[in-house]
Amino acid sequence: MSEQTSSARQHSSEETMDVAVLGGGSFGTAMTKVLAENGHRVHFWMRDEHQVKEIRETGINSRYMPDVSLSGDILPTTDLEAAVAGAVAVFVAIPSKAFRTVIREHAGAFEAGQAVISLTKGIEKDGFRLMSEILQEEIPRSKIGVLSGPNLAQEIANRDLTATVIAAKDPDVRNVVQSLLGCEYFRVYANVDVYGVELAGALKNIYAIVAGLASALDLGENAKAMLITRSLAEMSRFAVSLGANPMTFMGLAGVGDLIVTCSSSKSRNFRIGYAVGKGQGLDEAAAELGQVAEGIRTLLLVKEKAEDMGVPMPLVGGMYKILYGGAAIRDVINGLMMAVQNSDVEFILPRTTSS
Ligand SMILES: NC(=O)c1ccc[n+]([C@@H]2O[C@H](COP(=O)([O-])OP(=O)(O)OC[C@H]3O[C@@H](n4cnc5c(N)ncnc54)[C@H](O)[C@@H]3O)[C@@H](O)[C@H]2O)c1
Ligand SMILES: O=P(O)(O)OC[C@H](O)CO
């Protein structure tokens, strides 16, 4: 173990555990690094044999994190069954589009009572399912958790100070994740509102696109504050109508993640909005990014769901018109600014209009 590794581990469990990380992208790589630096044996599953070979031989995942060197007890593999067998916890960082397929295909591999934690911030198209719901449906004998918060993968990999949230009903899951991941640069807070934490992580990606677009247009600092705050109001309104606890949105998974993703060009969703604001087409921007920006899909799903439920979401509606309806950005902004005046905090003063 390197000097850096032993110092990172000060606050985490002293016992070496077998853990699995599923998904060889940016976030899977960052979480693998934290777990390995904390002294655990990490079975790192990905589908690409070349990537496995590269990480095994060089410690580098050049496609997703070319500047990050992985060291410690990391076992890259394409064998998911072997990765999961005996793991005290399985962390899943597969984009929402492929999440169910991967879990279903390997459902038999997961053990009864095993902690399975989603790291994915997205929503499934059919049935508007969150990832924890997919886990519940596909591998119901597992103990399920969700990790979410202001967690830019690159910063975690750089050991920049970061906090996250583990949400799980089962205290054993909360405890094991805090113990496995916590260290001097990564602090893990707990919550029991699984649905709220997970929904916050998915929804903020939409508003990061909005914020990126605003940044491209150089709308000013007041506009940034207005957008972030109204995004929080809108996402909490939607989440509460689905049964989430509004207080969750005051925490790291809510306002915390919203702040980081809406104010940093390190966020892929923010970069999509910025590119569109600078006149690039959505498809071109997504192709150029070359990594997942969940907000693009989530926007479509949330717009449809909000309309079905009659929940007003003017920012979602406006972004949809820009990305998919060919609306002029300035017209949409003008429409939002000139809408009927409304309540600031609707949990104190209820909204009286549908605008
Ligand atoms: N990158 C971050 O900063 C960050 C932070 C927190 C949460 N997340 C979330 O984690 C999830 C994964 O994001 P990421 O940043 O790692 O994405 P990424 O684009 O960097 O990588 C995606 C990975 O998923 C793999 N993948 C895609 N389809 C697959 C399939 N069918 N089978 C197996 N593997 C498949 C790809 O090969 C790739 O390794 C997203 O929901 C994202 O919102 C990302
Ligand atoms: O790069 P993004 O936009 O997917 O955001 C990454 C994380 O979700 C930030 O918390």
Q: Which of 341, 344, 349, 298 is nearest to 320 (CA)?
A: 298
Judged by its nearest atom, the ligand closest to the C-alpha of residue 205 is 2
If DSSP codes are grouped into helix, strand and coil, which group holds residue 168? coil
If DSSP codes are grouped into helix, strand and coil, which group holds residue 331? helix
Distance CA 89, CA 35 (A): 11
Pair (211, 159) in one structural domain: no
The active-site residue, picked from 33, 53, 169, 204, is: 204
Judged by its nearest atom, the ligand closest to the C-alpha of residue 201 is 2
pLDDT tens for 93-151 read 999 999 999 999 999 999 999 999 999 999 999 999 999 999 999 999 999 999 999 99
Residue-number span of the structural domain to which 299 is assigned:
203-337
For the chain, helix, strand, coil in percent to 5 are 55, 15, 30
> What pLDDT, on a 0 to 100 scale, did the predictor assign at position 118?
99
Last residue of a domain, one of 165, 192, 219: 192
Distance CA 113, CA 162 (A): 29
267 annotated ligand-binding residue: yes
239-264 average pLDDT score:
96
The verdict on the CB of residue 96 being under 6 Å from ligand 1 is: yes
Work out the percent of the chain whose per-residue pLDDT is above 90.
94
**Beta partners for residue 65, in sequence order:** 61
pLDDT tens for 159-203 read 999 999 999 999 999 999 999 999 999 999 999 999 999 999 999
* 352 pLDDT more than 80: no
Task: Please report, for the chain, how many H helices and E strands are present, in that order.
Answer: 16, 12
Mutation choice for ligand 1 from 21, 22, 26, 271, CB with most ligand atoms inside 8 A: 26
CATH of residue 289: 1.10.1040.10
The verdict on the CB of residue 95 being under 6 Å from ligand 1 is: yes
The verdict on the CB of residue 204 being under 6 Å from ligand 1 is: no
Does residue 158 fall inside a structural domain? yes
The verdict on the CB of residue 260 being under 6 Å from ligand 2 is: yes
Does residue 96 fall inside a structural domain? yes
* 10 pLDDT more than 50: no
ipTM of the complex: 0.99
> What pLDDT, on a 0 to 100 scale, did the predictor assign at position 169?
98
Ligand 1 centroid – CA 121 distance (Å): 9
Pair (211, 143) in one structural domain: no
Does residue 346 fall inside a structural domain? no
268-287 average pLDDT score:
97
CATH of residue 80: 3.40.50.720
The verdict on the CB of residue 130 being under 6 Å from ligand 1 is: no
pLDDT tens for 69-98 read 999 999 999 999 999 999 999 999 999 999
Pair (29, 163) in one structural domain: yes
Its pTM stands at 0.95
The verdict on the CB of residue 96 being under 6 Å from ligand 2 is: no
Q: Tell me 249's DSSP state.
A: G
DSSP β-ladder status, 41-45 and 74-77 = parallel
**Beta partners for residue 147, in sequence order:** 166
Under the banding of pLDDT at 50, 70 and 90, the label for residue 13 is low
The verdict on the CB of residue 121 being under 6 Å from ligand 2 is: yes
Last residue of a domain, one of 173, 192, 211: 192
**Beta partners for residue 145, in sequence order:** 117
pLDDT tens for 39-77 read 999 999 999 999 999 999 999 999 999 999 999 999 999
Mutation choice for ligand 2 from 29, 97, 121, 299, CB with most ligand atoms inside 8 A: 121
37 annotated ligand-binding residue: no
Ligand 2 centroid – CA 261 distance (Å): 6
pLDDT tens for 104-114 read 999 999 999 99
292 annotated ligand-binding residue: yes
Residues, the chain, total? 355
Buried b (16+ CB within 10 A) or exposed e, 107-132: eebbbeebbbbbbbbbbbeeeebbbb
Q: How far is CA 59 from CA 23, 90, 92, 109, 168, in A?
A: 16, 21, 20, 27, 32
Is 335 buried (19+), middle (13-18) or exposed (0-12) by CB count in 10 A? middle
Last residue of a domain, one of 160, 192, 224: 192
Pair (163, 305) in one structural domain: no
Total domain count, the chain:
2
204 annotated ligand-binding residue: yes
Ligand 2 centroid – CA 341 distance (Å): 32
Pair (81, 223) in one structural domain: no
Distance CA 214, CA 216 (A): 5
Query: Is 204 assigned a catalytic role?
Result: yes
Pair (170, 22) in one structural domain: yes
If DSSP codes are grouped into helix, strand and coil, which group holds residue 262? helix
Ligand 1 centroid – CA 97 distance (Å): 10
Pair (248, 313) in one structural domain: yes
Closest ligand 2 atom to 271 CA: 3
Pair (186, 149) in one structural domain: yes
* 4 pLDDT more than 80: no
| CB-based contact 38:12 (threshold 8 Å) | yes
Pair (170, 261) in one structural domain: no
